[in-house]
Chain A
């Protein structure tokens, strides 16, 4: 077999897929696929992909993959892989890697990969280079360098795999590669039957659950739209609610809004409310009093829309828009909805 790139694909929650009546990839898998293809192209080697699960369940997924520009699609099927376990995945992939002998194994950096890939790497005497935000080609002969973030993005660190004859495992950060850049093509599907024994799988997972009526927990929200006094009147909240909906965001507010009873107290962010740390905090009509800032300063990115160019919120914002929120917010909602 070739010494190329192997991409390990991840599927979405099985029940959801059933509901959709078809195969569903975890979005980041497709980004990993694009990354793997790009890496293989840079190195001039072949790219393959693997998908794990119960044989019947993965057959349509493997078929779908065969329409990509890949050398081989490995359908790794076994009844013991019907549900994800770290042990099952580690054992099966260890065997697949022994079979395929890739130089690089690319994973999507998902919760699931974080659960088993470090163990797999250890078993191979390797280290997972995780959460890679970019791949750079350098040196002579050209070799890939992997950019990771340190100190929550305050520093970039460039990693290189240096074990001679080893296999380099890396997982790519969500959103770092474009899924639509994955190339279409033709490839063969090969079945791979791993040797698994039930007693080697030590953990017993139960069905995933999702609590139906979750109370608002802003502290775990990934995206938050915060609204402040600048909204003017309660009726105008609808604008911001629409934006939050379009973004898949939780709605939050500064104190005056909750004080006025326009939004429930549990949505208040700040010193007398919740402390949040989303990937994105979009502040609409919030001037940025300290009581509010202390609640949302943990946000990775802050975008602020405010009509007052001197508002302190711009001090902490990464992107600022000085303008009329009654124009910008609806325009943004429309643009997101496409």
Chain B
């Protein structure tokens, strides 16, 4: 006997636990059991079949690639088996959920054995050392699960966090069933062998089990079965949008446009509400509720089935489909918090942006500001509708060299860096940092918008034109490396442009400065600038997972302070998703909330790494900043301020 086997044996003996066996069943009882099992399975199949059809009958995801499998495997291990996301986002309830989940896994063997036993077959060989150990092991889990489920029950029905939405009877029934399964199992550990009590408990346990199975489809507990698959099959990239093919694809217009992955994710939703809890639109009273949008897709599939011609956005939707509306789709800042938070692998952004694409690509979306933005991009090629001559003037004033192939970097200005007075200051300060480091750079003679607002608002025509134009100008200028101060340009050029070609390597100025930290520190003079609270831009953090470089840069210039929500959980400034261009928000402003949060740290300076965040906070500070607002600086400006004057070129300082 191996050491492990001995250990198991000892544990079994020590605890001396034996699972009470019912007296073996007679033929009648066996027939009854078989009938019940068939009935349960049949009911499960009958209820599950329409769902399977809705998923399988939806459009094939042409862009789904399973490779690299390693990454998918790791995510499956971490998010499903380890329940890492569930625990991380909500510690106690998350842990309780994980216990129930692990308990279920532990019980798989017990459950199979339980049913087999009905037919007189002890698969587990409970008398053996392993069997004895497993019985005890499962017993321990049963205790934990019973406690956890009771806790979750109390949370749902007594504490009632608002994110869970209305109290659902279904959850209560499921909790009771799980509790009953655990209780009967534990009771079987203490009643005498082959006693009538044992038989009663066995039947009770088995009946609960058989009742549980058919309940699963059609309820959110379907996630038990689907979410492992959903997590495994998730689109690999954040906010990944599929290419529109052929002459009839315009985004999510009707049920025909819903793909299998979208359907699978919708049916996997566990209605925990994490997405809505962290949604900046929902938090400020906008009409968007990401959880309800996902459930809206599910409700649509339930009503119309897959491949339907019925529009997804209806004039007078009923029931849960109400959440699927144009105002909701266009209230999204695309901050990606929902997608990041979701424990079952639902990806909201392709749905929300997909709905926008459907509405914009067919011309159904009519919005004064949106139209103005699109016309500016069509006519002037930049999101601010400014004349290219204004950019020329700025470049001339700053004496930025034009990129001619001899320089190492192409400095991409972006719309904000080209036209916004504050954006220009940021670009100018970053250029000074590059000059101080002796890095050669040039700017493009002409630059159009990278296409971020067009992409996020679902205007594929415009986005395609801008991407192609951008790729062409980089190719013509012979650019190899790009650096930019704008995370929106960064993401769009690095990821979204891929639909049209390969862009040169691009990095954010935070990454550039962090890489040169050692040299920069040697160049720096004077005192550190006091405390700086760093705000993670969505498009740098969640979209690109760049968290450390900007912090390293901030640490060079001052004392880094963290806001309550930071890194992956950072809260949006309100500008993303093209919303910076769509006029004033109704109700509370996202930027005001975030600005207050940053101010609560008491930091002397708010450090930003995105010209859009900077612009939003600048406006918000005017409103909520009070008498002595903190100063607002980009990380490039933090660095530039500590560089000695002589290290800088004689270029103009002001934008």
Do A's and B's CB atoms come within 8 Å in the complex? yes
- Which A residues lie at the B interface, using CB under 8 A? 229, 255-256, 259, 265, 271-273, 275, 288-291, 293-294, 297, 310, 312, 315
**Can you list 9 A-B pairs, Cβ within 8 angstroms, ordered by A?**
A229-B622, A271-B581, A271-B583, A275-B372, A289-B422, A289-B618, A290-B423, A297-B385, A297-B387
Query: With a CB–CB cut-off of 8 A, which chain A residues contact B155?
Result: none
Nearest CB on B from A74, distance (A): 47
Which A-B residue pairs are the 6 nearest by beta carbons? A312-B421, A290-B420, A272-B583, A272-B584, A294-B384, A294-B385
> How distant is B420 from chain A, measured CB to nearest CB, in Å?
4
Interface string of B62-73 (1 = CB under 8 A from A): 000000000000
Pick the contact of A290 from B372, B387, B615, B622 — CB < 8 Å?
B615
Per the bound structure, the CA–CA distance linking A310 and B655 in Å amounts to 10
Digitize B603-621: 1 where CB-to-A-CB distance is under 8 Å, 0 elsewhere: 0000000000001001100
Residue of B nearest to A312 (CB): B421
Confirm or deny: B654 has a beta carbon within 8 angstroms of a beta carbon on chain A: yes
**Any chain A CB within 8 A of the CB of B539?**
no
Residues from chain A with a CB closer than 8 A to the CB of B419 are 290, 293
Q: How far is the CA of A312 from the CA of B386 in the complex (A)?
A: 14
Interface string of B278-313 (1 = CB under 8 A from A): 000000000000000000000000000000000000
Cβ proximity bits B545-561 to A, threshold 8 Å, 1 near / 0 not = 00000000000000000
B316 at the interface (CB under 8 A from A): no
- What is the CB-to-nearest-CB distance from B488 to chain A, in angstroms, rounded to a whole number? 15
Known A255-B619, A256-B622; contact A288-B421, beta-carbon cutoff 8 A: yes
How far, in angstroms, from A294 to B615 measured CA to CA in the complex?
Answer: 14
For residue A256, which residues in chain B have a CB less than 8 angstroms away from its CB? 622
Q: Which of A271, A272, A290 contacts B421 (CB 8 A)?
A: A290
CB distance from A264 to the nearest CB of B (A): 13
Verify if B623 is at the interface (C-beta below 8 Å from A).
yes
- B-side contacts of A259, CB under 8 Å: 623
Q: Which of A255, A272, A289, A310 contacts B654 (CB 8 A)?
A: A310
Contact partners of A275 in chain B: CB under 8 A: 372
- Residues of B close to A294: CB separation below 8 A: 384-386
B386 neighbours in A (Cβ, 8 Å): 293-294, 297
Known: A271-B581, A294-B385, A297-B386. 6 other contacts (CB 8 A): A255-B619, A256-B622, A289-B619, A291-B619, A297-B387, A315-B421
Min CB gap A160→B, angstroms: 30
Whole-angstrom CA separation of A74 from B132 in the bound complex: 123
Mark interface residues in B385-421 (1 if CB within 8 Å of A CB, else 0): 1110000010000000000000000000000100111
Which residues of the partner chain B approach A229 to less than 8 Å between Cβ atoms? 622
- Cβ–Cβ < 8 Å partners of A288 in chain B: 421
Contact between B584 and A290, CB atoms less than 8 A apart = no
Distance from A250 Cβ to chain B, minimum over Cβ atoms (Å): 19
B interface: dominant SS: helix
Instruction: Tell me which residues across on chain A come within 8 A of B622, comparing CB atoms.
Output: 229, 256
Chain A residues within 8 Å of B372, by CB: 275
User: Which residues, 561 to 616 on B, are CB-close (under 8 Å) to A?
Assistant: 580-581, 583-584, 615
Instruction: Map CB proximity to A onto B364-399 as digits: 1 under 8 Å, 0 otherwise.
Output: 000001001000000000001111000001000000
**B63 shortest CB reach to chain A, Å:** 35
Residues of A within 8 A of B420 (CB): 290
Chain A residues positioned under 8 Å from B618 (CB to CB): 289
Residue among B421, B615, B655 facing the most chain A CB atoms (10 A cut-off): B421
B573 vs chain A, min Cβ distance (A): 14
Chain A residues with CB under 8 Å of B393's CB are 315
Cα-based distance from A315 to B393 in the complex (angstroms) = 10
CA distance A256 to B624 in the complex (A): 12
Which of A259, A265, A288, A294 has most chain B Cβ within 10 Å?
A294
**How far, in angstroms, from A294 to B372 measured CA to CA in the complex?**
11
Q: How far is the CA of A288 from the CA of B386 in the complex (A)?
A: 14
* Per-residue contact bits, chain B 462-478, to A (CB 8 Å; 1 contact, 0 not): 00000000000000000
Q: How far is the CA of A291 from the CA of B415 in the complex (A)?
A: 13
Closest approach, in angstroms, between the C-beta of A316 and any C-beta of chain B?
8
Residues of B within 8 A of A290 (CB): 384, 416, 419-423, 615
CA gap between A291 and B655 in the complex, in Å = 16
Q: From A271, which residue of chain B is reached at the shortest CB distance?
A: B581
Q: Which residues of A contact B422 (CB under 8 A)?
A: 289-290
Nearest to B580 among chain A residues (CB) is A271
Please give me the residue from chain B that is nearest to A274 by CB atom.
B368
Q: When chains A and B are docked, how far (Å) is the Cα of A259 from the Cα of B422?
A: 21
Question: What separation, in Å, do the CA atoms of A229 and B369 have in the docked complex?
Answer: 24
Q: Which residues of B contact A255 (CB under 8 A)?
A: 619
A residues less than 8 Å from B580 (CB atoms) = 271
Distance between Cα atoms of A288 and B655 in the complex (Å): 12
CA distance A259 to B592 in the complex (A): 13
B655 surroundings in chain A (CB, below 8 A): 312
In the bound complex, how far is the Cα of B615 from the Cα of A40, in angstroms? 59
Q: Which residues of B contact A315 (CB under 8 A)?
A: 393, 421
Bound: A297/B420 CA distance, A: 13
- Complex: chain A residue closest to B387, CB-CB: A297
Assembly CA distance A73 to B509 (angstroms): 74
**C-alpha gap A315/B419 in the complex (Å):** 11
> Which residues of B have CB within 8 Å of A297?
385-387
B623 contact set on A, CB distance < 8 A: 259
For B389, give the chain A residue with the smallest CB separation: A154
> How far is it, in angstroms, between the C-alpha of A294 and the C-alpha of B581 when the chains are bound?
11
- Using Cβ atoms and an 8 Å threshold, which residues of chain A touch B416? 290
> How many angstroms from the CA of A229 to the CA of B623 in the assembled complex?
12
B385 cross-chain contacts in A, Cβ below 8 A = 294, 297
A145 smallest CB distance to B (angstroms): 29
The listed residue with most B CB atoms (<10 A of its CB), out of A275, A289, A290, is: A290
Q: What is the CB-to-nearest-CB distance from A196 to chain B, in angstroms, rounded to a whole number? A: 45
Interface centre among A259, A271, A297, by most chain B C-beta atoms within 10 angstroms, is A271
B397 and chain A: residue at smallest CB distance: A315
B384: which A residues are within 8 A, CB to CB? 271, 290, 294
Q: How far is the CB of A268 from chain B (nearest CB, A)?
A: 9
Measured in the bound complex, the distance between the Cα atoms of B369 and A290 in whole Å is 16
B contact residues around A291 at 8 Å (CB):
615, 619
- CB-CB nearest in chain B for A297: B386
Query: Measured between alpha carbons, how far is A255 from B615 in the docked complex, in Å?
Result: 13
Min distance, Cβ A300 to any Cβ of chain B, angstroms: 14
Query: How far, in Å, is B385 (CB) from chain A's closest CB?
Result: 6
Which residues of A sit under 8 angstroms from B369, Cβ to Cβ?
Answer: 271-272
Q: How far is the CB of A146 from chain B (nearest CB, A)?
A: 28
| Chain A residues with CB under 8 A of B423 | 290
> In the complex, A265→B393 CA distance in Å?
33
List A contacts of B583 (CB < 8 A). Answer: 271-273
Known contacts A255-B619, A294-B384, A289 near B421 by CB under 8 Å: yes
B576–chain A nearest beta-carbon distance, Å: 16
What 0/1 readout, one digit per residue, does chain B (632-655) give for beta carbons within 8 Å of chain A?
A: 000000000000000000000011
Q: How far is the CA of A293 from the CA of B385 in the complex (A)?
A: 10
User: With A and B bound together, what is the CA distance between A289 and B619 in angstroms?
Assistant: 10
Distance in angstroms from B66 CB to nearest chain A CB is: 44
Bound Cα distance A157, B384 (Å): 31
CA distance A271 to B654 in the complex (A): 23
* Residue on A nearest B419 in the bound complex, by CB: A290
Can you list, as one digit per residue, whether each of B18-40 has a CB less than 8 Å from chain A (1) or not (0)?
00000000000000000000000
Q: CB within 8 Å of A: which of B239-290?
A: none
Complex alpha-carbon distance, A297 and B382, angstroms: 14
